[in-house]
Structure 1
């Protein structure tokens, strides 16, 4: 076999391997999707499984969600609002901080960057108690602000934007200053558009983190009308009864926003991650 034949064979082997890995990764999602069409009695008896009995499949679970489970859509709306606000505010403030640490030479710059790295290494569970006390003292418990406020400036996003901004052409900044542009104008009109791939990558990561966030909203949210989806779905499992029909079908519905977010930004996702990882 010649060299081209070996390369072609290796590509086929690699593709087959990737397909197998994808199928393994998709197995839980496929099982969840199939189980969402099974009657509640079957779910109580057999749990989530990959077996398919087409005669037993039904749309009753989704019909119940769309017609009777009003609380579910309240939780869904809360999660959408919190995730959207978190994405916008986190990208806005984190990109500004990361950009400043990358392009400006000011006293204490390295200290602040080291501080960001130290905070990045501290588990969030350690910070929850002082953050909770802060939320109580400011009297914003059981509000959207209490959930969003600790996530506005994410250390991982600051580090990522800083690494990406190190690769931006500084000549454009000098040219803009000569033309009389302000520093804010340089950032918003010139540099921020160039950081598009990094913004898209972090939008997916921050959106996924906020959408799946469970522990912190569980601490600061009190009323049922303010619950997010992870908390609301968890309340369906109690010692007095388990509403599996809403739980399984509702869990499938939670995948949709993340899929939409990834489809919108996926063309920039890989570019943003690779560039932000090698620059600097």
Structure 2
């Protein structure tokens, strides 16, 4: 019996060491980026992003440049925060309502609507870009926040996730609430939505990450430099006439902070929400 415990302990140690190595390999690019953000711009242009660096060369000059000499960067940062924040809130609200309705209500055409959701999930976004772009032109939403957010507000992946999660909710609570005179909206917002908090947390992280890193669609819709999001704005720093590595590298590190904060804020429910959503129904 003791030999089995020793073997199990040894296996656990081997697995933990392996996972630590894998984690380090996965974090290696991020560590290289963070270290490079403290290196001089001239050194970056000569040697690129590397993990080996002379400690005497490290300084805060790149970050000082961002805070004192890069007003456009903070405009882009603010634009990304506004767009991502509104996208998260609106997407969670509308996608959860659609997914909840598909899960708990029996109405004609419900399965057909859910089939449409699955079909849209399988269609690459690049196929839909041209029709969506024409729609933005026709509705005069080019170069606006609304034009960037509108195609992302009701995300088919989020609808599918919320539907799967809501299918596991106890419908007896709905019947009891109806007997007490609660409306359907009241049932959702007062009873069901609190039970769906883990799914909201998981989707907040995924939707926030997708919106924050979104590059292609904002690139098509936005025309003005003052409305650029961070991915587009940082891309404009790379030109044939000179590369602003001091802003680019340090700015790229700064873009990680909102995602880390978002994950820390919702991580308590993140894994539970994903696991529950994957097995419900």
Deviations 1:89-113 (A, max 9, x none): 0000000000000001111110000
Alignment partner of 1:2: what SS?
Answer: helix
Alignment partner of 2:115: what SS?
Answer: helix
Q: CA deviation at 1:8?
A: 1.8
- Measure the CA separation in 2 of the matches of 1:106 and 1:239: 58
State the match for 1:172 in structure 2. Answer: 173
State the match for 1:185 in structure 2. Answer: 186
Deviations 1:184-207 (A, max 9, x none): 000000000000000000000000
- Measure the CA separation in 2 of the matches of 1:11 and 1:106: 51
Q: CA deviation at 1:52?
A: 2.1
Question: What does residue range 28-67 of structure 1 map to in structure 2 within 5 Å?
Answer: 28-67=29-68
Question: What does residue range 56-205 of structure 1 map to in structure 2 within 5 Å?
Answer: 56-205=57-206
- Measure the CA separation in 2 of the matches of 1:10 and 1:264: 33
State the match for 2:245 in structure 1. Answer: 244
Deviations 1:53-105 (A, max 9, x none): 11111110000000110000000000000000000000000000000000011
- Measure the CA separation in 2 of the matches of 1:212 and 1:18: 27
Matched, 1:17 2:15: no
Alignment partner of 2:223: what SS?
Answer: coil
- Measure the CA separation in 1 of the matches of 2:162 and 2:196: 8
Segments of 5+ residues of structure 1 without an aligned counterpart are none
State the match for 1:235 in structure 2. Answer: 236
The alignment's TM-score, normalised by the length of structure 1, stands at 0.99
- Measure the CA separation in 2 of the matches of 1:132 and 1:203: 26
- Measure the CA separation in 1 of the matches of 2:256 and 2:150: 25
Q: CA deviation at 1:5?
A: 1.9
The alignment's TM-score, normalised by the length of structure 2, stands at 0.99
Deviations 1:195-240 (A, max 9, x none): 0000000000000000000000000000100000000000000111
Runs of 4+ in 1 over 6 A off after TM superposition: none
Q: How many residues align?
A: 280
- Measure the CA separation in 2 of the matches of 1:19 and 1:8: 16
- Measure the CA separation in 2 of the matches of 1:47 and 1:276: 43
Q: CA deviation at 1:3?
A: 2.1
Q: CA deviation at 1:173?
A: 0.6
- Measure the CA separation in 2 of the matches of 1:7 and 1:187: 47
Q: CA deviation at 1:17?
A: 1.4
- Measure the CA separation in 2 of the matches of 1:115 and 1:141: 27
